[in-house]
Amino acid sequence: MRWLIVEDALRDRKGHWFEYLGTFARELHALGDDVTILADRAAEPFLREQLRVQPVLPASIWHRMGDGAGALRRYLRVPVHAWQTNRVLKKYLLQNEPFDVIFVPTVMVHHLLGWTWLIKRVLKAAPGKVVLFFPNTPIFLDENKNEPAWQPAPTAKLFCRLIRSLRKEVKRGRVILGAETQPMRAALMQLTGVPFTYFPHPVAPLVAPTDARSELPEPSPIIMGSYGSARHEKGSEVLVAAVEEYCRRHPAARVQFVLQSVDGDPKLWARLENHPKIRLIPDYFPDGEYVRQLGATDVLLLPYRRSSYALRVSRVVIEAMVQGLPVVTTRQTTLEDQSKKFGAAVLCVDGEAETLVQAIHEMVQNFPAMKELAAQQKTVAREHFSVPEFRRILVG
């Protein structure tokens, strides 16, 4: 099969796109497929060397999210980026032989408008399939009604209208609309009335250095880690309060907390400074350090907020499962759904630090059994969250 992967968010090594698309390219090649990747026109040379990307796409819209632009400017970006996407891809597609699969991994409304034009005009008679993937959508879970709902924005209405306009192409199998979690798939189908397909989020196991735990004292403590940007949606304030309280209640516990505080509130994280059981990481990991740190970690603490993760995927929990690491995470989120099926988890209640304290204590008390369960489940997790499984679902 000939694949064309189109991702303007692929610009540098920040975020997950480099690892994600690198996994696709490597494993599709191993399956005998041919892969071409189009990236942001400003893609760094490293990506051109490692993934052989073609830097032809408009400047990444993803990297401009949250830049403080006014409402009018943000809304104008939708037709502008759509037109730019349409113009670049139309030229590229007309100059190349048809592809069996055109895969767009990160579709936002800006892309969806441009791809709708392409599908209905340039690709109208094309023999291949177009897979539009939606890791982020303008919907949320109304916690009062426990039902999905559209965000109150004009772009959400446009998103819905564009999806419905592709109903015929989806029915014929020419277009496949993808979602990374079963809750997101169900929500999108309920709100649009158009079929969506669940695809797993492929994550390759990370190979940690053999000396990843060599600096730890003997007997080694249980290393509990939380890595990545310390944003509110990841429950940072709950995590800080719970770790602080756990250390107060259990001063003799054989536990070490390693927490990345980058992008967090300095006053909040200052509460954990200089504690013998806590090590804070205030900066982003340099190349290779995340893999090393994960290799020295026993448990991941993921008290992510339900408001953000009731529907969308967390790559971190998948990394934990394929590595065989148990997790502490939040009830009624996709992290709970996936970790119960493919991993080992102790659960806490959204936003409640006391339940997180209890969950950490339960994990410590039952760590040998949880570690064994996670190790047993990692084979299943690796098979499911893989490119071959993604491809199998696509081919049918």
What was the pLDDT predicted at 272? 96
**What pTM did the predictor assign?**
0.92
Helices assigned H by DSSP within the chain: 17-30, 45-50, 71-95, 109-120, 154-165, 167-171, 182-192, 236-249, 266-269, 289-295, 306-309, 315-323, 334-342, 353-365, 367-384, 387-395
Residue 327 is encoded by which pair of tokens? 């997790």
Question: Exposed e or buried b for every residue in 264-301, given b needs 16+ CB within 10 A?
Answer: beeeebeebeeeebbebbeeebeeeebebbbbbbbbbb
- The CATH superfamily holding the domain 222-383 is Glycogen Phosphorylase B; (3.40.50.2000)
Residues 225-271 have pLDDT tens digits of 999 989 899 999 999 999 999 999 999 999 999 999 998 999 999 99
What was the pLDDT predicted at 217? 55
What was the pLDDT predicted at 185? 97
Q: CATH 3.40.50.2000 in the chain: give the residue spans.
A: 222-383
CATH number belonging to domain 2-199:
3.40.50.11930
Q: How far apart are CA 189 and CA 197, in angstroms?
A: 9
- Percentage of the residues of the chain whose pLDDT score is greater than 70: 97
Q: CATH 3.40.50.11930 in the chain: give the residue spans.
A: 2-199
Burial (0-12, 13-18, 19+ Cβ within 10 Å), 32: exposed
User: Helix 334-342 crosses helix 182-192 at what angle (to 10 degrees)?
Assistant: 130
What was the pLDDT predicted at 209? 64
Residues 77-127 have pLDDT tens digits of 999 999 999 999 999 999 999 999 999 999 999 999 999 999 999 999 999
Q: Name which of 134-138, 239-243, 377-381 the model is least confident about.
A: 134-138
Question: Degrees (nearest 5) of the Cα angle 329, 388, 38?
Answer: 90
- The model's confidence at residue 3, banded by pLDDT at 50, 70 and 90, is very high
- The model's confidence at residue 210, banded by pLDDT at 50, 70 and 90, is low
Residue 207, pLDDT > 90, answer no
Residue 321, pLDDT > 90, answer yes
DSSP 272-319: GTT-TTEEEE-SPPPTTHHHHHHHT-SEEEE---HHHHTTS--HHHHH
Q: How far apart are CA 241 and CA 236, in angstroms?
A: 9
